[in-house]
Amino acid sequence: MTICNKWRAFFCGTMSTALLGTVSLMSSPAAAAPCGGPAGTPAPTQTKCLTAVAIPGNPLRSFDISFVNPNRAEYYLADRSNSGIDVIDTQNLKFKRTIGGFVGIKLKANGAVNNNISGPDGVVTHGRWLYAGDGDSTLKVIDLDAPVNPIKQIISTGGTTRVDEMDITTDGKILLVANNAEDPPFGTLLRANGDAAVSTTAIIAKILVSNAIIPKGAGLSLEQPAWDPKTKRFYVSVPTIANNPPGCTLAPVNTCSGGLLVIDPATVTGPVTTLDGFNPATNTGMVPLTACGPNGATVGPHDNLLLGCTPNNLPGSTTTLVINAKTKNTAVVTGITGSDEVWFNKGDGRYYLGASASPTGPKLGVVDGTSVLIETIPTSSGSHSVAADSKRNLIFSPQVAPLAVVGAGGDTTTNGAAICGTNNGCVAVYKHDVDDDDDDHEDHEDRR
């Protein structure tokens, strides 16, 4: 049975399983190095570490989300350690530059990184435009074609903490960003630049969730959005929602699962839109999830979304969840949990998971289009970010420097140094050579 037919059978119920500003001076290319040690080149896996790209400047202590624009052959990493967006050439696998102008790492009183006010954080691109969230509640709009002064707009979302995860519509004209650390958290819907030569990005509306679902003062969050071009909705991972299941507790130990917030940008009007429980007639509102506290979200084949469930949000959770955007049927992926950013690579029809919070140790997870875990690959303890270049079939996984080098937030394993070949951290580049068994997967529409 082909992957396509497997999915149709799965979701149609024919299977017995129930479902579902400035460019820094660090601009000279840095040569890539071979991956080192068994952590870098695990023999039994189909996904092999191809090389490790060094990032000039400070050793990698803290970074957040990453993104690939395959049409530009560029990978972008929100690098707080060097207060900017690192750009890697995905064709030649070389560091190109760091786009500076971000607040960088901010520390707590105990010396740990304060993620809530550090930046950059979320990042997404369309064409020449890169959008990046910063720790001061601003969105930076960057012209990648500008030789100098690439930050063209700085837009405040009105909070006091970081602009975090984000995604953009296929045409690049509508952008959704999340202020995950506000109380209560909120989203901001913006008019983006599309393919225009001049930046006119502007806020459309603030997106809130009913206090009955995300109570003020409970320390809850909004995480990674994902745009589905077929249903024309944003789907936002929500780590925890109240009363899911009924009678669950938010404190002192959370026993409540999360939700999936569905937003139709065509129905959002300013200045504030508040969403409530799920409305199947409009396909909007909060969908309660079972046994999943998700961070990441990515759209795969047939309008299926893989959600990065993690025990950091729901203690004791052990699985990952796939949910269909249309039917809301779900499938459970066993053997992997603890993911932050997740990414579907249409080049090989597989999902890649930055599972740094896995209870069995930090992993790069690989899941096929039928919700089957293919393999897990050891990574550094802070490797929660992942992105793939679908044209070149390359997967990028940043690795933090060792704890002994950078202090709190550093790698507590030996994996990162083995992969990078140095103690400075790096971006590991993996490749999955598509074999005959994978040749029948659909060349899925690239939602980017």
User: Which neighbouring-strand residues pair with 428?
Assistant: 52, 397
- All structural domains of the chain with their residue ranges: 3-438
Nearest to 428 by CA among 165, 93, 24, 72: 93
* Residue 225, number of CB atoms within 10 A of its CB: 24
Q: How far apart are the C-alpha atoms of 290 and 330, rounded to whole Å?
A: 9
Architecture of domain 3-438: 7 Propeller (2.130)
Overall average pLDDT of the 375-385 stretch: 95
Q: What is the three-state SS of 130-144?
A: EEEECCCCEEEEEEC
User: Which neighbouring-strand residues pair with 49?
Assistant: 430
Q: What pLDDT, on a 0 to 100 scale, did the predictor assign at position 40?
A: 64
User: Which neighbouring-strand residues pair with 250?
Assistant: none
Overall average pLDDT of the 40-68 stretch: 90
Q: What pLDDT, on a 0 to 100 scale, did the predictor assign at position 269?
A: 81
With H, G, I as helix, E, B as strand and everything else as coil, classify residue 349: coil
Q: How far apart are the C-alpha atoms of 314 and 289, rounded to whole Å?
A: 11
Q: What pLDDT, on a 0 to 100 scale, did the predictor assign at position 136?
A: 98
Task: Grade residue 35 by pLDDT with cuts at 50, 70 and 90.
Answer: confident
Pairing of strands 63-69, 74-79: antiparallel
Q: What pLDDT, on a 0 to 100 scale, did the predictor assign at position 32?
A: 53
Q: How far apart are the C-alpha atoms of 170 and 436, rounded to whole Å?
A: 31
Overall average pLDDT of the 150-165 stretch: 98
- Average pLDDT of the chain is 90
Task: Grade residue 118 by pLDDT with cuts at 50, 70 and 90.
Answer: very high
Residue burial 64-77, b: 16+ Cβ < 10 Å; e: rest:
bbbbbbbebebbbb
Sequence-ordered list of residues with C-beta below 8 angstroms from that of 345, at least 6 positions apart, any chain: 351, 352, 388, 390, 393, 395
Overall average pLDDT of the 16-26 stretch: 39
Find how far residue 208's CA is from the centre of its chain: 21
Q: What pLDDT, on a 0 to 100 scale, did the predictor assign at position 16?
A: 31
The answer, yes or no, to whether residue 365 has pLDDT greater than 60, is: yes
